[in-house]
């Protein structure tokens, strides 16, 4: 509180008041008396001038003017000739006072009478001033003496009775009014400084909140003065800062997401490379082993040699498939791959694919059911959609159980057709449902190895559907598993 503007303002205003009142008091004490005497002197000089001017007139006029002046100014006036004989004397209708000449024939520089003490005497131009103290009356007098035109002497005397008393009274009055002014002034200063600093404190408070990133509070200062403008500026600043920080936060979040995405992609790339090298290592080792066997001629008979060659060719085929699938996947996922959309009959395509598989189904003793609905035209990349069908059907053949049923159905909606490939068999566990769409992911490794799968088929499906902007998925349903994908229906209107 000690250093606050409020207390500084309060203390300064109070001090200023005390200072002015003290100055007033000092001036009163030092100069009021002098000022009063000067004023009196001026009045005496003016009267003297006036009397000098009229002194040429008749005696009655002179006497009248003397009386008038004496009564107005409260002075006693005497005019004496050069020899000191009184010529005129003012008559005052106020309590009787001794005239200048009562005690003596007045002459400048004369010794004061015994009951009067001469305090000082000085000459200013044609006027001589003299201050005397009347011991008996206890009154000070100021007397002006000047020569009139014909050499007669004019003396005007005024009492200085009240001045020192007046100074005392004024002193006391100044002290009393001073105390009242200081008290009232301090109250006013307190209220004013409070009112003055309130908006500043408000702005300060808001600035502090801003430093804590709290931009909810706004200045409610309504004035149009500098503080009001400051409040508005702070409000504007707060709004802009809020906007900037929000924007920055959003960008920061996006950047974090991008970094995370980048990190995941990098991780996936590493995983991918390690998976590919892992998948290649096994067939390469087998090929190497059997090739060395052939070279060292471990086997004598033709049949065994043929077996060795078959194994090598089989492994080569597998590697070939892997390389092809990989190329296929990387091509689709590259970002440069464009699907070639055409309009074609999806029902016919399914029938065509199933026709190709006919012998395989027969050979594997699998019952194939195709629930033919209405014949539908769709829009999409036919080669790729055939690839999806093939991958789903291959998987169904590889995972069908002893019930040996594969069922294909289509559900027609407004602008999409959902194609389901169902096979009887074991459910896929919950946590694998998401992961099977990643490359090289296999739920049951042993089983996948038995049919020579690499875990790439479904990731190819995912990549193709992403390019088509269409959905895909898998559901465990009663008795088996259904894989589905959507295609764009063409509506003829």
Ligand X SMILES: Nc1ncnc2c1ncn2[C@@H]1O[C@H](COP(=O)(O)OP(=O)(O)OP(=O)(O)O)[C@@H](O)[C@H]1O
Residues near ligand X (CB under 6 A) are 325, 391, 395-396, 399, 423, 425, 428, 436, 441-444, 448, 453-459, 481
Residue 201 CA to residue 208 CA, distance in Å, equals 10
* Closest approach of ligand X to the CB of residue 288, in Å: 23
Residue 28 CA to residue 282 CA, distance in Å, equals 118
Stretch that binds Mg ion, among 154-162, 373-381, 402-410, 455-463 (CB under 5 A): 455-463
* Closest approach of ligand X to the CB of residue 395, in Å: 3
Residue nearer to ligand X on the CB measure, 40 or 462:
462
Of Mg ion, ligand X, none, which one sits near residue 428, judging by CB under 5 to 8 A according to partner kind?
A: ligand X
Q: Is 475 left (phi over 0), alpha (psi -120 to 50) or beta?
A: beta
* Closest approach of Mg ion to the CB of residue 317, in Å: 16
Which residue has the closest beta carbon to Mg ion? Answer: 457
Residue 233, phi then psi, degrees to nearest 5: -60, -40
Stretch that binds Mg ion, among 111-119, 165-173, 436-444, 456-464 (CB under 5 A): 456-464
In the block, tokens 């069922």 appear at 407
Residue nearer to ligand X on the CB measure, 154 or 458:
458
Residue 27 CA to residue 30 CA, distance in Å, equals 5
Number of residues this chain uses to bind Mg ion (CB under 5 A): 2
Of Mg ion, ligand X, none, which one sits near residue 287, judging by CB under 5 to 8 A according to partner kind?
A: none
Residue nearer to Mg ion on the CB measure, 10 or 454:
454
What is the four-CA torsion angle of 93, 99, 102, 105, rounded to 10 degrees? -140
Of ligand X, Mg ion, none, which one sits near residue 444, judging by CB under 5 to 8 A according to partner kind?
A: ligand X
Residue nearer to ligand X on the CB measure, 378 or 396:
396
Q: Is 439 in the site for Mg ion (CB under 5 A)?
A: no
Considering Cα of 457, then 462, then 464, then 465, what sign does the dihedral take? positive
Of Mg ion, ligand X, none, which one sits near residue 399, judging by CB under 5 to 8 A according to partner kind?
A: ligand X
Q: Helix, strand or coil for residue 490?
A: coil
Indicate the angle between helix axes 5-54 and 163-211, nearest 10 degrees.
Answer: 150
H helices, E strands: number in the chain? 10, 13
Residue nearer to ligand X on the CB measure, 29 or 448:
448
Residue nearer to ligand X on the CB measure, 158 or 458:
458
Q: Is 457 in the site for Mg ion (CB under 5 A)?
A: yes
From residue 138, how far is each of 17, 98, 226, 439 by CA, in Å?
A: 38, 13, 63, 128
Residue nearer to ligand X on the CB measure, 242 or 448:
448
Of Mg ion, ligand X, none, which one sits near residue 425, judging by CB under 5 to 8 A according to partner kind?
A: ligand X
Residue nearer to ligand X on the CB measure, 21 or 406:
406
Residue nearer to ligand X on the CB measure, 189 or 436:
436
Which among 206, 254, 194, 213 has a CA at the least distance from the CA of 233? 206
C-alpha triplet 374, 352, 457: angle, nearest 5°:
105
* Closest approach of ligand X to the CB of residue 247, in Å: 43
Stretch that binds Mg ion, among 236-244, 292-300, 378-386, 390-398 (CB under 5 A): 390-398
* Closest approach of ligand X to the CB of residue 340, in Å: 23
Residue 394 CA to residue 398 CA, distance in Å, equals 6
Please give the biggest Cα pair distance in the chain.
185
Residue 296 tokens, joined: 């060292």
Of Mg ion, ligand X, none, which one sits near residue 14, judging by CB under 5 to 8 A according to partner kind?
A: none
In the list 90, 99, 235, 395, the residue contacting Mg ion (rule: CB under 5 A) is: 395
Residues facing 76 on adjacent strands: 157
* Closest approach of ligand X to the CB of residue 434, in Å: 11
Of Mg ion, ligand X, none, which one sits near residue 436, judging by CB under 5 to 8 A according to partner kind?
A: ligand X
* Closest approach of ligand X to the CB of residue 448, in Å: 4
DSSP 491: P
* Closest approach of ligand X to the CB of residue 359, in Å: 20
Residue nearer to Mg ion on the CB measure, 275 or 395:
395
* Closest approach of Mg ion to the CB of residue 429, in Å: 17
Residue nearer to Mg ion on the CB measure, 185 or 457:
457
**Helix-strand-coil split of the chain, %, nearest 5:** 55, 20, 25
* Residue span 344-383 as binding mask against Mg ion, x where in contact by CB under 5 A, dash where not: ----------------------------------------
202 within 8 A of 219, measured Cβ to Cβ: yes
* Closest approach of Mg ion to the CB of residue 268, in Å: 19
DSSP 396: H
Long-range own/partner contacts, residues 365-368 (CB < 8 A, 24 or more apart): 365/404, 366/397, 366/400, 366/404, 366/405, 366/406, 367/404, 367/405, 367/406, 368/406, 368/407, 368/408
Q: Helix, strand or coil for residue 330?
A: helix
163 within 8 A of 33, measured Cβ to Cβ: yes
Which residue has the closest beta carbon to ligand X? Answer: 457
* Closest approach of ligand X to the CB of residue 371, in Å: 18
Which residues touch 44 (CB under 8 Å, ≥6 apart)?
Answer: 75, 127, 129, 142, 144, 156, 158
**Which residues are at the interface with Mg ion (CB under 5 A)?**
395, 457
């Amino acid at each position: 509180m000690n250093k606050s503007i409020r207390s500084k303002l309060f203390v300064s205003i109070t001090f200023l008041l005390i200072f002015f009142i003290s100055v007033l008091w000092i001036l009163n004490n030092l100069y009021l008396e002098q000022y009063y005497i000067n004023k009196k002197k001026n009045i005496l000089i003016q009267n003297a001038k006036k009397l000098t001017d009229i002194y040429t007139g008749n005696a009655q006029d002179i006497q009248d003017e003397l009386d008038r002046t004496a009564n107005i100014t409260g002075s006693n006036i005497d005019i004496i000739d050069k020899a000191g004989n009184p010529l005129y004397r003012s008559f005052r209708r106020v309590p009787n006072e001794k005239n200048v000449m009562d005690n003596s024939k007045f002459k400048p520089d004369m010794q004061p009478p015994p009951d009067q003490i001469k305090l000082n005497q000085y000459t200013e131009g044609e006027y001589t001033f003299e201050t005397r103290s009347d011991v008996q009356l206890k009154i000070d007098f100021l007397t002006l003496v000047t020569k009139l035109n014909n050499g007669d002497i004019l003396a005007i005397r005024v009492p200085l009775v009240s001045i020192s008393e007046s100074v005392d009274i004024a002193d006391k009055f100044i002290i009393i009014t001073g105390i009242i002014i200081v008290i009232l002034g301090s109250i006013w200063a307190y209220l004013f400084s409070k009112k003055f600093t309130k908006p500043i404190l408000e702005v300060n408070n808001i600035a502090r909140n801003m430093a804590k990133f709290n931009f909810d509070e706004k200045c409610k200062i309504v004035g149009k003065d500098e503080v009001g403008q400051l409040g508005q500026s702070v409000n504007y600043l707060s709004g802009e800062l809020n906007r900037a920080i929000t924007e920055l936060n959003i960008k920061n979040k996006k950047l974090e997401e991008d970094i995370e995405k980048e990190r995941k992609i990098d991780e996936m790339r590493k995983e991918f490379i390690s998976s590919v090298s892992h998948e290649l290592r096994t067939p390469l080792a087998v090929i190497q082993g059997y090739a060395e066997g052939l070279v060292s001629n471990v086997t004598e008979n033709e049949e065994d040699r043929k077996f060795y060659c078959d194994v090598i060719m089989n492994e080569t085929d597998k590697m070939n498939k892997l390389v092809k699938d990989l190329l296929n996947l990387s091509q689709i996922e590259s970002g440069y791959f464009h699907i070639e959309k055409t309009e074609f009959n999806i029902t016919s395509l399914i029938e065509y694919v199933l026709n190709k598989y006919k012998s395989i189904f027969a050979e594997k003793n699998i019952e194939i059911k195709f629930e033919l609905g209405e014949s539908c035209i769709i829009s999409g990349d036919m080669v790729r959609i055939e690839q999806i069908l093939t991958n789903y059907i291959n998987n169904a053949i590889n995972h069908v159980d002893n019930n040996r049923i594969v069922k294909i159905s289509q559900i027609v909606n407004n602008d999409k057709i959902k194609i389901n490939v169902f096979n009887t068999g074991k459910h896929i566990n919950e946590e694998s449902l998401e992961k099977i769409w990643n490359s090289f992911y296999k739920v049951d490794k042993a089983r996948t190895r038995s049919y020579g799968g690499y875990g790439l088929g479904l990731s190819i499906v995912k990549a193709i559907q992403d390019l088509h902007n269409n959905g895909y998925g898998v559901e465990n349903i009663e008795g088996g598993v259904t894989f589905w994908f959507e295609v764009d229906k063409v509506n003829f209107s």
